[in-house]
Amino acid sequence: MTTARWNGQVIAESDDTTIVEGNHYFPLASVRAEFLEASDTTSVCPWKGMANYYHLAVDGKQNPDAVWYYAEPSLEAAQIRDHVAFWRGVEITD
């Protein structure tokens, strides 16, 4: 089981992550939605497409743009549709 943790809380758990460029992409259904806050941030990957972000909010602390996802990934990245990945101090363990 792969787990994402931040600020002492499990954010996501799944035994079905997809690894792309060294990042575990978790199925959205495996993420605890109560810790996600919408963000207006976007970025562009030349081969995956436009990324959108969420902030993490756990026990009164916020980790801005710590979660990213591709709402409409390119055909080459179709396997990460409806998945999210983490960074900025989110601990990923297998």
User: Residue 65's domain spans which residues?
Assistant: 2-93
Q: What is the mean pLDDT of residues 30-49?
A: 98
| pLDDT confidence of residue 24 | 98
* Structure confidence at residue 4 as a pLDDT band (50, 70, 90): very high
Q: What integer pLDDT is reported at residue 5 of this predicted model?
A: 98
For residue 40, what is the domain's CATH number?
2.170.150.40
pTM > 0.85: yes
Work out whether the CA dihedral 65, 30, 23, 43 comes out positive or negative: negative
Q: For residue 63, name the pLDDT band (cuts at 50, 70, 90).
A: very high
- Residue 89, pLDDT score: 98
Q: What is the mean pLDDT of the chain?
A: 97
Total structural domains in the chain? 1
Two structure tokens written together for 15: 């035994």
